[in-house]
């Protein structure tokens, strides 16, 4: 499996285009990335089991930030009930429990 397989469609091509725009040689050495936590430049290859992080420490710091909800993905709240408005619909028949 390659980096291209792991990225969303079209992302790899954007990265290559940006690298060429910066006059970097993509094929002359390891693909370099920035650690999301400490911003250190590191090679993205199989010799680093923590990639895209530079170390286990940075990986765990990132995981902790997600667990503490310091990082989120934009969207509607998960606990939002999409059908809640139907419960208040006056056109629906009322159910009575048989006690």
CATH value at residue 65 = 3.30.50.10
pLDDT one digit per residue (tens) for the chain, 99 residues: 676 777 777 778 888 888 777 665 445 677 889 999 999 999 988 888 998 999 999 999 999 999 998 988 887 776 666 666 666 777 777 777 665
Domain that holds residue 6: 1-29
d(CA 35, CA 33): 6
d(CA 12, CA 18): 10
- In a shared domain, residues 46 and 17: no
- In a shared domain, residues 53 and 23: no
- In a shared domain, residues 9 and 36: no
94 within domain boundaries? no
């Amino acid at each position: 499996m390659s980096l291209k397989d792991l990225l969303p469609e079209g992302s790899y091509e954007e990265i290559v285009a940006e690298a060429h725009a910066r006059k970097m040689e993509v094929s002359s050495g390891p693909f370099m990335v920035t650690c999301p936590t400490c911003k250190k430049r590191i090679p993205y290859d199989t010799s680093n089991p923590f990639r895209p992080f530079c170390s286990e420490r940075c990986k765990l710091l990132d995981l902790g930030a997600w667990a503490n909800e310091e990082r989120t993905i934009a969207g509607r709240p998960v606990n939002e009930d999409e059908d809640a408005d139907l419960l208040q619909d006056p056109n629906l028949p009322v159910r009575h429990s048989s006690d």
